[in-house]
Amino acid sequence: MQRKTISLPDDLAEFVDENHINLSRFVQDKLRELAESDSDQDEITEEQAKEIFQKLESLGYLDG
């Protein structure tokens, strides 16, 4: 299995430690949920389209 590294803000890292959360398992489960929900969805919602537009605009990809 390939390993990836993520960074957490101090408050979230503390929360994970205090609650004895297996972060690896948690992230794997959430990624599987996301992958399954994306495969079920052929089209994006209007809200998702707006979010994508805003992200592209903020990154400068839509400057004319």
| Structure tokens, 64 | 């004319």
| Structure tokens, 11 | 């408050």
Task: Please report where in the chains the tokens 């389209």 appear, as a residue.
Answer: 49
| Torsion 7-24-29-16 (CA) sign | negative
Kindly state the helix (H) or strand (E) to which residue 33 belongs, with its residue range: helix 23-40
Dist CA 33 CA 2 (whole Å): 19
Predicted structure pTM score: 0.47
Task: Give the pLDDT confidence of 19-54 residue by residue, as tens digits.
Answer: 998 888 888 888 888 888 766 666 778 888 888 888
pLDDT at 5 over 60: yes
